[in-house]
Structures are given as structure tokens and as C-alpha cells.
Amino acid sequence: MQAEQQEDNGFWEGLRDLQLGFFSGDAPLWRLSLAPAAHSDLDADCLVDWGGAQRWLRDDRPTAEMRQRAAAHGGHATLFRGGNRQGEVFQPLNPVQDRLHRALKQVFDPRGILNPGRLYPDW
């Protein structure tokens, strides 16, 4: 029983630390946030986490296509690792979400010292 629990913990720790075999390789790694019950055309080669709300996908489709597909299922896509990192890696927020995010960042990081330029290119 204890050895079985250690194996289970090893899996979850590997998932948490992105150390599972799924995370290795050269193809771009995308983190998708979708409704847990969403069934998408992106599910074929993905690893499902957080009860379906977070999905990891290795895919080299263009950024615009990945974001459009995620948005079609009520979610968003973030280029987590690899791929073309010249552009925005986070999916742009709609104006209301952007305003809320910036207000929260202003409260918790009024000097803008945490991850400058990472969440908001202009800040």
C-alpha cells in the first residue's frame, strides 16, 4: 500500500513539476484553459489536468490558430514553452478582463517590479 502511494505521489509530483514524458520534446508546449466539460478538437494529443480545466498540448500550429481554437471552446491558450516567442505568449485579454487584471496588479505590485514586461508588454 505504501509503495503504491509513493508511485501515485511520483506521478502527481512529475505532473506538478512538468517532468512527465509528455513534457519532453521540441514541439511547442501550450497550456489551454477550457471549461472542464469542453470537448475540443485539440484533445487528441493532450494531457488533461485540473479535472479538465487545464490541458497541456504539444502542437506547432500557428499561435493565432491555437488561440482561435481555444476561444471557440470558451477558453484561452498560452504558449508555455518553445515555439515562436517573438510575439505575445499570453492570449490577449478582452478590455474588461484587461482592466481588472491591471487593477489587481496595481494593488499587489504598485511599483511594477514583479515580472516586468511579462504579463503586460507595456508595463
Average pLDDT, the chain: 83
**Does 22 score more than 50 pLDDT?**
yes
> Residue range 21-26: average pLDDT?
90
pLDDT tens column, 34-63: 888 887 666 667 888 888 889 999 988 888
> Residue range 2-28: average pLDDT?
81
DSSP string computed for the chain: -HHHHHHHHHHHHHHHTT-SGGG-SSS-EEEEE--TT---TT-TTEEEEGGGTEEEEE--S-HHHHHHHHHHTT-EEEEEESS--SS-SSPPPPHHHHHHHHHHHHHH-TT--SSTTTS-TT-
**Does 74 score more than 90 pLDDT?**
no
pLDDT tier at 92 (50, 70, 90 boundaries)?
A: confident
**Does 1 score more than 50 pLDDT?**
no
pLDDT of 49: 86
